[in-house]
Amino acid sequence: MGNNVLIVDFGSQYTQLIARRVRELNIYSEIHPFNKIPSDLNRYKAIILSGSPFSVRDKNAPMIDFDAIINSKPVLAVCYGAQLLAKEKGGLVLPSNIREYGRANLDYISNDNCIFDNISKGSQVWMSHGDTIKNLPNNSTLLASTSDVENAAFRINDKDIYGLQFHPEVYHTIDGKKILENFLLKISKLKQDWTPDSFIDQTVSFLKSELKTDKVILGLSGGVDSTVAAVLLNRAIGDNLHCIFVNNGLLRKNEFEDVLDQYNGMNLNVKGIDYSSKFYQALRGIEDPELKRKKIGKAFIDAFNFESKKIKNVKWLAQGTIYPDVIESISATGGPSATIKSHHNVGGLPSYMKLKVVEPLKLLFKDEVRRVGYHLKINPEILGRHPFPGPGLGIRILGEIDPEKVKILQEVDSIFINSLKQEGLYDKVWQAGAMLLPIKSVGVMGDERTYERCVVLRAVESTDGMTADWVNLPYDFLQNVSNKIINRVKGVNRVVYDISSKPPATIEWE
């Protein structure tokens, strides 16, 4: 039996948080949609059922074969999962008389079960549901209650099957990590062996076995993901890795030259190519954000296809795809949650490009990629670099793209990022950048009327990009940056600051 955790996704906005919390305990977890559960459950030692936006009383509510799952190994059912477990095993689930959303406290905790070991009465939890478990399922025992939710936690007797009406994975459940730890370590007997070093060893071993002596082409961006992917591949196949850095005309100021310099001394086979004119041509007249992403993605593929033909016998295209890319692109790995946006480096290749895809990081969150990079002894300046979207400034320029707009935004972005570094704020921000709006506004400069562009500054704090809060940058700092931009960047007369969080907004504007 594998030392892994299967997370069954019913479409909850918190499913990815479950995976992250489990991994923070150095236990590997993976998410699969409720309708695509792996047939071989022997790979997993425990199962967690997620919440859902659906009600178990809905006609088309997501369902699973409980008998096949709950008789095989320990199960922790969260929110919707707990309600579904209760309903299918003889309990009663009804609409809540009051809205059960937000903070609550466990007024009663059973002392007879180790899932609540070292958790005291009054512990704060987070509720988020419209239904409630009125009657517990058959042959079960109540484990916890709040003042409004009598059946907040229960256990199926004589089995390691638990239901929690609250969300242990969210920050507001104070002892949530301890509850998960109790379930995974004390009840499920999992080992804490998911570490950066173990990931490196397993991944390099897999790449050696999978790629053998094949040649691989990798698109470098200068960012954390592609760099870590390159170093892992280099360890596995050495000179058979051919790295290409494409100037798509949508990079930040001086980035093409800076990135190539950055890789000097890293023992990587890197070639820089300038395809900016071809990208501009592909984007001419395109305003729709999704279409822009697809055009940029196709142009990347065309560039790699052209360059790969110059290298004899290339068989693989490597990509720095990470887990949030996959989740956001295919609806939480195929579950019922909504697709937010497509990612240019996720998905299949066109039939004319006879390369197979290898993605060594596709199961890692961003912070995990950085930890792996640290253990690979990659330059901390590279690992600390803010995330930058694959489509680059193409999704930070709203509307049609042209070289003039790119130049304006490059200058604005450079002032903003360099100011963050100069004031010691860069490392306190997870991601920062500027957006160019497709509007002009009236201004006054030198006693003359101006009619120029508006730019948006954005800075967020996050762990993995799945959720993010805007950063409360000092007013003096924002004032100085605004003055610099308006005084130094011709064509801009207005600067605004984005104070939206994700959700409901996304980090990028397109």
Task: Point out the residues that are catalytic.
Answer: 79, 167, 169
Under a CB-based contact definition with an 8 Å cutoff, are residues 388 and 259 in contact? Answer: no
**CA 384 – CA 426 distance, rounded (Å):** 9
**What residues contact residue 61 under an 8 Å CB cut-off, 6+ apart?**
52, 54, 55, 84
Say how many residues make up the chain.
Answer: 510
CA angle 318, 319, 325 (to 5 degrees): 155
How many angstroms separate the Cα of 353 from the Cα of each of 248, 276, 482?
20, 21, 46
**What residues contact residue 326 under an 8 Å CB cut-off, 6+ apart?**
333, 346, 362
Task: Report the phi/psi class of residue 444: left, alpha or beta, with left for phi > 0 and alpha for psi in -120 to 50.
Answer: beta
**CA 26 – CA 145 distance, rounded (Å):** 30
- Helix (H), strand (E) at residue 102: strand 92-105
- First vs last C-alpha separation in the chain: 43
**CA 158 – CA 179 distance, rounded (Å):** 19
DSSP of 283-321 = HTT---HHHHHHHHHHHHHHHHHHHHTTSTTEEEEE---
- Helix (H), strand (E) at residue 144: strand 140-145
Sign of the C-alpha dihedral computed for residues 292, 471, 466 and 381 taken in this order: positive
Supply φ then ψ for residue 275, to 5 degrees: -120, 20
355 SS3 class: coil
